[in-house]
């Protein structure tokens, strides 16, 4: 059965398309390129036409996050799929494919009198507060100039996305999550994730059925998520994570079929298409940054007393509650806070470096040291810089 706690028959009226002033659209690999890894202009033309109508006639702002560069580069170089498991080869294909991708987009959008700009980003552009702000200022200026930004990770130099490694503490590991973070960064009204399926599906005795509306993302929904697609690196699970980021930003998220020519036009017309994720309680900007965007630099293992104080009493984290420091970190870095079993339950911004924290822990262990550091120095992570996960 479909998980009833996550499904609603009707989308709230106040989430109509007429209220969508700024929209982030993510185009998946299977939408952008065909089976031969060539740019699929025939499939993309109706989507681009819908974007042009939305921009010109309704004066809306659009930001694209696009996949497809690695595949297009591989096709141009004659590289087989088997050879793409090599990271350096994927980087080389990305370097070739990025220019091909932008050239192809440029031709499509120029026909509709839309100027485009390419932004190639890496993890530090999101993980650091200053670079995070700089990137937003650049995108905001492009939007004011009526330019359509097209964003992708800089796969030619960064391996954060294209390596097949554990990415539990990565800022983003594919373009789905990148699109979610861009939605958060720009405080967009909606995130539209276009893929090659109709939305989030669940199996019934008669086949598969679409979940039209999701109010919250539960463990049951995550169980429905499929594995990675044949060409792309993301799967339905990463789309759920991206949708969750958007929901916590206050944005509507939609997963829909980008292979259908009328998908965007129907969404922009206010029709219920694909799976719609309804926003709920929002995190403020700093708390969103700590939870989803900042790179986690260190790990603090705390005792049960400190865990309970943080969870139940909304307390700050004191040095006295830390039993172990794992991985170095600097002052103002975001760290993971875990309990004695290793379960992460919070993240926060530190008031000192790991070296200073280690020194304070050593002083605490000595009798003379108990009175040798100030009350201010006891606070490793201040409460207003802690986010419960």
CA angle 308, 310, 312 (to 5 degrees): 60
Class of residue 321 by CB neighbours under 10 A (exposed 0-12, middle 13-18, buried 19+): buried
Cα separations (Å) of 385 from 315, 317, 348, 380? 11, 10, 5, 10
- Concatenated DSSP letters for 27-82? E-HHHHB-TTS-B-HHHHHHHHHHHHHHHHHH--EEEEEE--HHHHHHHHHT--GG
- Do 16-284 and 295-388 agree at the fold level? no
CA angle 204, 206, 208 (to 5 degrees): 55
Q: How far apart are CA 275 and CA 29, in angstroms?
A: 19
Tens-digit pLDDT profile for residues 240-293? 999 999 998 889 999 999 999 999 999 988 898 999 999 877 777 777 778 776
Report the candidate in 208, 212, 193 with the shortest Cα–Cα distance to residue 255. Answer: 193
pLDDT band for position 12 (cuts 50, 70, 90): very low
CATH class, 16-284 region: alpha beta
CATH class of 295-388: mainly beta
3-state secondary structure of 371: helix
- Tens-place pLDDT, residues 161-209: 444 334 444 455 688 999 999 998 898 999 999 998 899 888 777 778 8
Q: What pLDDT, on the 0 to 100 scale, is given for residue 160? A: 52
Provide the residue ranges of all domains of the chain, joining segments of one domain with +.
16-284, 295-388
pLDDT of residue 347: 93
131, containing H or E segment = helix 129-144
> Can you read off the two tokens belonging to residue 67?
């996949």
In the beta sheet, which residues pair with residue 62? 23
Sign of the alpha-carbon torsion through 324, 326, 330, 333: negative
């Amino acid at each position: 059965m479909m998980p009833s706690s996550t499904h609603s028959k009707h989308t709230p009226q106040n989430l109509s398309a007429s209220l969508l002033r700024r929209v982030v659209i993510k185009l998946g690999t299977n939408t952008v390129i065909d089976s031969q890894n060539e740019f699929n202009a025939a499939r993309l033309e109706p989507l681009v036409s819908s974007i042009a109508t939305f921009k010109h006639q309704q004066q809306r702002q659009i930001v694209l996050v696009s996949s497809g560069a690695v595949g297009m580069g591989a096709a141009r170089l004659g590289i087989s799929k088997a050879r793409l498991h090599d990271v350096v080869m994927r980087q080389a294909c990305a370097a070739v494919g990025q220019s091909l991708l932008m050239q192809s987009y440029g031709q499509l959008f120029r026909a509709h009198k839309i100027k485009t700009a390419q932004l190639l980003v890496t993890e530090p552009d999101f993980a650091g507060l200053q670079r995070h702000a700089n990137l937003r200022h650049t995108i905001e200026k492009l939007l004011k100039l009526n330019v359509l930004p097209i964003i992708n990770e800089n796969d030619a130099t960064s391996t954060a996305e294209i390596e097949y490694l554990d990415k539990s503490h990565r800022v983003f590991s594919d373009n789905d999550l990148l699109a979610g973070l861009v939605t958060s960064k720009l405080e967009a009204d909606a995130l539209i994730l276009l893929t090659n399926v109709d939305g989030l599906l669940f199996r019934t005795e008669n086949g598969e059925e679409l979940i039209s509306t999701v109010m919250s993302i539960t463990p049951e929904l995550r169980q429905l998520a499929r594995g990675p697609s044949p060409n792309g690196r993301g799967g339905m699970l990463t789309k759920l994570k991206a949708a969750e980021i958007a929901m916590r930003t206050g944005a509507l998220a939609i997963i829909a079929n980008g292979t259908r020519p009328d998908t965007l036009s129907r969404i922009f017309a206010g029709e219920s298409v694909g799976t719609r994720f309804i926003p709920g309680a929002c995190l403020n900007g700093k708390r969103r940054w700590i939870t989803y965007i900042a790179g986690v630099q260190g790990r603090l293992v705390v005792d049960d007393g400190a865990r309970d104080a943080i969870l139940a009493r909304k307390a700050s984290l004191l040095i006295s509650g830390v039993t172990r420091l794992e991985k170095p970190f600097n002052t103002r870095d975001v760290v993971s806070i875990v309990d004695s079993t290793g379960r992460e339950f919070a993240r926060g911004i530190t008031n000192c470096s790991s070296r200073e924290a280690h020194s304070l822990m050593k002083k605490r262990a000595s009798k003379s040291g108990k009175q040798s550091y100030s009350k201010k120095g006891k606070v490793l992570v201040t409460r207003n810089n802690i986010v419960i996960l």
